[in-house]
Amino acid sequence: MDEARNAIYYLSSILTDAMPEMLTDLSELLGEHGVVLPAHNAPSVSVPGSAETATATRTSPLRSRERSCSCRTSTPSGSASR
């Protein structure tokens, strides 16, 4: 169970912290070279499609496991000893 908690903690951290920061940095660096990324990179997205995606994200196995592990409020076990 500790391995699952650790994996969920780190995957969540990557998705919520590291990835947005990396994409912001990439956008800024590309902008320095005259490349402007569109703010909306999925032109065929519709409101119903977005709602369906949001529902799928909320009900994904990762979210279900996260809730059952109470990983949002705790750090990975054993991380201080590594």
Query: pLDDT tens digit string along 11-57?
Result: 888 888 888 888 889 989 999 999 987 776 665 656 666 677 777 76
User: What pLDDT does residue 41 have?
Assistant: 61
CA-to-CA distance for 35 and 78, rounded, in angstroms? 43
Which range is least confidently modeled, 25-29, 49-53, 60-64, 74-78?
74-78
String of DSSP letters for 13-54? HIIIIIHHHHHHHHHHHHHHTT----S---TT--HHHHHHHH
Q: What is the pTM of this model?
A: 0.41
Q: For residue 74, give every residue at least 6 positions away whose Cβ sits within 8 Å of its Cβ, in sequence order, or none.
A: 5, 9
CA-to-CA distance for 23 and 35, rounded, in angstroms? 14
